[in-house]
């Protein structure tokens, strides 16, 4: 079964079936997965433009077109209906190629987990990683200010502080000091707790002024009812909320209007987009997006950024006015869509004079500063990748580089790390750690060679199996490089011995000719290649060497962190090993309930006995071990 691009007759027949009317088109791959959802006032012309040889498509969309096996369409009466339908379908399918904006984990979001009975709030760089009902705000440019704001919020509003409770039968210290309402013991109802979380959400919706007015009304009512403690708590919340926006005043002629201002700065590769959220004359949010600029009109990029942003917003978050740096190609359509969602007229304009134009200039200036910062970082990465390509005689700069390291103390708690750099930058969402399973690697007997061989075999066995299957089926178009997460380069932390152990595994898997591997020794920063007895003669300050060192240091840090965590868990168990009659299963039950030996030490006999699998007699033995004076 071939794609439409490989079957011109089928493609032309399918295009003729598409009408010249407004509507939405859906492109699917050979597995019937949705690749892209788009809208147009003339469906046939829009879809046909993807398959014209003269059409200059961005690399991302050009790749998507090669994967299209089927095209569906839905006709609508108007363009506005098409935009609303596109919005719903994108929310439903979350198509990969609909993302014009790069999700490069650079800017953080605030997430509120409305899917949980007691929602949590936290900062994350992975948008849409949770349930569909969870709400994301951002992405925010100023990470320091975002963390400071969230810290203030958690001090003035009692919120759930932990993903999981420490104790099963009592609240933790956060409840005692007023930071948590006792969620783990259900000391607050879900309904009452959600009311508090809705107030917090208003801050990130830019409705702080509305929240202050609401709290002021409640404070006055509490004071009149002689509930002075409640009034004092509300007063403190109001003062803190006012302090949060005290230094963010923006001078505009009408302080009562809510407005967003958006602008961009771009070079040949990328565009940095900034969106300022101004409510009641105050800058309540500064959001940032990064997009591929190749082949895209600035107005269309701003339009797509606004559509993507408001698609995740609630109606109350949509401002009355939107000011743009350049005219949008479908401003009237976007305006109608937002007005229908808000239930009130939304105005989109491109200011040319006076204070509103100065606001756009300020947003554009911030976008230019951000672009300069990104360019500087990108130039460094490009220089490092090109240096590494030259150093190792690679045909192209490596896109995905993986680094491996082993961590242990004389063989005890041996672990390994796998870190990943994409285009020269850490991609922490792809990091992985391993527990060494080799029975010969024990306390007092370490074997880094065997440990690395084990990890590499566990990592690359699936690729060896896929290669053998393709050879058996004579799939001549098969390529390991097209498989998911296959690296362009692997770096081993170590010298010739570690590299030889890894290559022996790859030769057994028949991948030694398909994978580039190097090792970097710690002492002299020497780079070794397979089947070479001497290291490369290279300057330690060479950009390619520096990139390998950054990768090696990150692999070492990640391995040591996991090793320390595992060692800490073992040391906790070592205390319990000294208690007579307490086997591995009962130790596990106690640690699952109390989480640490220190909390177990503070528990009473009744609390210990309440643990599943622990009777009163065993609980008394455990308590006496930690409190020997109690037996006297």
Is 554 part of any domain? yes
Enumerate residues 6+ apart whose C-beta is below 8 A from 435: 414, 415, 566
**Does one domain contain both 612 and 553?**
no
**Does one domain contain both 417 and 559?**
yes
Residue 611: pLDDT band with limits 50, 70, 90: confident
**Does one domain contain both 416 and 540?**
yes
Residues 339, 318: Cα–Cα separation, whole Å? 9
Q: What is the pLDDT of residue 54?
A: 64
Q: What is the pLDDT of residue 73?
A: 93
**Total of domains in the chain:** 4
Question: Which DSSP string do the residues of 250-298 spell out, in sequence order?
Answer: ---S-TTS-EEEEEEEE-SSEEEEEEEEEETTEEEEEEEEEEE-TT--H
| More confidently predicted of 461 and 539 | 461
Q: What is the pLDDT of residue 258?
A: 86
Query: How does DSSP classify residue 136?
Result: E
HSE-up (13 A, CA, CB side) for residue 2: 9
Enumerate residues 6+ apart whose C-beta is below 8 A from 252: 259, 278, 281, 355, 356, 359
**Does one domain contain both 560 and 582?**
no
Residue 572 has pLDDT above 70, yes or no: no
* CATH code, domain carrying 46: 3.40.1440.10
Query: How does DSSP classify residue 167?
Result: -
**Does one domain contain both 549 and 456?**
yes
For residues 438-453, one letter each, b for 16 or more C-beta atoms within 10 angstroms of the residue's C-beta and e for the rest, the string is eeebeeeebbbbbbbb
Mean pLDDT of the chain: 85
Is 245 part of any domain? no
**Does one domain contain both 549 and 587?**
no
Q: Any idea which residue has 């498989």 for tokens?
A: 483
Helix, strand, or coil (residue 439):
coil
Is 217 part of any domain? no
Residue 313: pLDDT band with limits 50, 70, 90: confident
Share of the chain above pLDDT 70, in %: 93
Q: What is the pLDDT of residue 118?
A: 92
> 249-253, 319-323, 385-389, 432-436 — which is least confidently predicted?
249-253
Dihedral sign for Cα atoms in the order 128, 134, 37, 337: negative
**Does one domain contain both 470 and 554?**
yes
Is 556 part of any domain? yes
Beta-carbon count within 10 A of 547 CB: 23
**Does one domain contain both 451 and 544?**
yes
**Does one domain contain both 553 and 408?**
yes
Partners of 422 in the β-ladder: 400, 425
The candidate with the shortest Cα–Cα distance to 187, out of 118, 90, 252, 84, is 118
Residues 458, 502: Cα–Cα separation, whole Å? 12
Residue 37 has pLDDT above 70, yes or no: yes
Is 254 part of any domain? no
Is 123 part of any domain? no
Residues 556, 406: Cα–Cα separation, whole Å? 8
Partners of 490 in the β-ladder: 402, 517
Q: What is the pLDDT of residue 619?
A: 86
Answer whether 502's CB lies under 8 Å from 451's CB.
no
Angle formed by the axes of helices 228-244 and 208-224, to 10°?
160
Q: Any idea which residue has 């003339």 for tokens?
A: 42
**Residue at a domain's end among 565, 594, 612:** 565
Residue 63 has pLDDT above 80, yes or no: no
Residues 531, 533: Cα–Cα separation, whole Å? 7
Is 517 part of any domain? yes
**Does one domain contain both 270 and 316?**
yes
Phi–psi pair at 65, nearest 5 degrees: -60, -35
Residue 556: pLDDT band with limits 50, 70, 90: very high
Beta strands in 41-160, from DSSP E residues, in sequence order: 70-75, 109-112, 121-124, 135-137
* CATH code, domain carrying 265: 3.30.420
Over residues 555-579, the mean pLDDT reads 80
Beta-carbon count within 10 A of 350 CB: 16
Is the link from the previous residue into 57 a cis peptide, with omega within 30 of 0? no
Torsion of CA 35, 40, 44, 45, to 10 degrees: -110
Residue 1 has pLDDT above 70, yes or no: no
Residue 437 has pLDDT above 80, yes or no: yes
Report pLDDT digits (tens) over 332-358.
888 988 998 888 999 999 988 888 888
Residues 362, 278: Cα–Cα separation, whole Å? 13
Residue 414 has pLDDT above 70, yes or no: yes
Enclosing domain of residue 557: 400-565
Residues 7, 70: Cα–Cα separation, whole Å? 11
């Amino acid at each position: 079964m071939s794609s439409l691009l490989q079957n011109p007759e089928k493609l032309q027949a399918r295009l003729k079936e598409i009408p010249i009317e407004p509507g939405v088109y859906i492109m699917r791959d050979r597995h019937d997965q949705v690749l892209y959802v788009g809208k147009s006032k003339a469906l046939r012309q829009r879809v046909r433009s993807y398959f014209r040889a003269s059409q200059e498509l961005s690399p991302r969309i050009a790749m998507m077109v090669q994967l299209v096996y089927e095209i569906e369409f839905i006709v609508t009466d108007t363009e506005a209906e098409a935009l609303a339908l596109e919005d719903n379908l994108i929310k439903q399918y979350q198509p990969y190629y609909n993302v014009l904006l790069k999700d490069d984990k650079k800017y953080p979001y605030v997430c509120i987990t409305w899917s949980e009975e007691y929602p949590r709030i936290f900062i994350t760089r992975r948008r849409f990683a949770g349930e569909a009902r969870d709400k994301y705000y951002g992405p925010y440019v100023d990470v320091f200010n975002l963390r400071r704001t969230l810290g203030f919020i958690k001090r003035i509003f009692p919120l759930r502080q932990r993903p999981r409770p420490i104790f099963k039968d009592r609240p933790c210290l956060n409840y005692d000091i007023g930071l948590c309402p006792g969620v783990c013991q259900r000391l607050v109802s879900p309904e009452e707790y959600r009311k508090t979380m809705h107030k917090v959400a208003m801050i990130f919706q830019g409705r702080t002024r509305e929240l202050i007015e609401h709290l002021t009304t409640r404070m006055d009512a509490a004071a009149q009812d002689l509930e002075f403690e409640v009034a004092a708590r509300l007063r403190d919340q109001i003062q803190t909320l006012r302090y949060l926006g005290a230094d963010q005043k923006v001078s505009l002629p009408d302080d009562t209007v809510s407005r967003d201002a958006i602008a961009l700065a771009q070079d040949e590769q990328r565009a940095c987009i900034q969106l300022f959220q101004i409510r009641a004359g105050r800058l309540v949010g500064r959001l940032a997006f990064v997009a591929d600029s190749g082949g895209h009109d600035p107005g269309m990029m701003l339009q797509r950024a606004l559509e993507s942003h408001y698609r995740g917003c609630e109606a109350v978050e949509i401002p009355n006015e939107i000011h743009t740096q350049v005219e949008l190609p479908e401003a009237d359509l976007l305006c109608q869509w937002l007005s229908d969602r808000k239930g009130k007229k939304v105005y989109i304009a491109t200011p040319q004079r006076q204070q509103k134009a100065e606001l756009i200039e300020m947003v554009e200036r911030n976008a230019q500063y951000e672009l300069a910062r990104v360019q500087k970082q990108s130039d460094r990465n490009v220089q490092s990748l090109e240096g590494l390509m030259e150093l190792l005689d690679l045909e192209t700069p490596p896109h995905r580089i993986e680094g491996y390291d082993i961590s242990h103390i004389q063989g005890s708690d041996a672990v390994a790390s796998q870190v990943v750099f994409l285009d020269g930058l850490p991609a922490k969402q792809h990091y992985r750690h391993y527990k060494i399973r080799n029975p010969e690697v024990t306390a007092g007997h370490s074997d880094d060679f065997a440990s690395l061989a084990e990890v590499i075999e566990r990592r690359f066995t699936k690729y060896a199996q896929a290669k053998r299957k393709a050879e058996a089926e004579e799939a001549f178009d098969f390529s390991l490089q097209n498989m998911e997460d296959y690296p362009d380069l692997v770096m081993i932390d170590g010298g010739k011995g570690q590299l030889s152990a890894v290559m022996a595994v790859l030769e057994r898997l028949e991948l030694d000719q398909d994978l580039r591997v190097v090792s970097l020794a710690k002492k002299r920063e020497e780079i070794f290649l397979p089947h070479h007895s001497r290291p490369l003669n290279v300057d330690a300050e060479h950009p390619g060497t520096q990139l390998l060192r950054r990768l090696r240091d990150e692999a070492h840090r990640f391995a040591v962190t996991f090793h320390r965590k595992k060692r800490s868990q073992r040391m906790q168990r070592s205390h319990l090993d000294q208690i007579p009659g307490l086997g591995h299963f009962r130790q596990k039950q106690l640690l699952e309930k109390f989480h640490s030996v220190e909390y177990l030490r503070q528990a009473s006999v009744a609390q210990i006995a309440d643990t599943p699998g622990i009777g009163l007699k065993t609980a008394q033995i455990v308590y006496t071990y930690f409190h020997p004076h109690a037996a006297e």
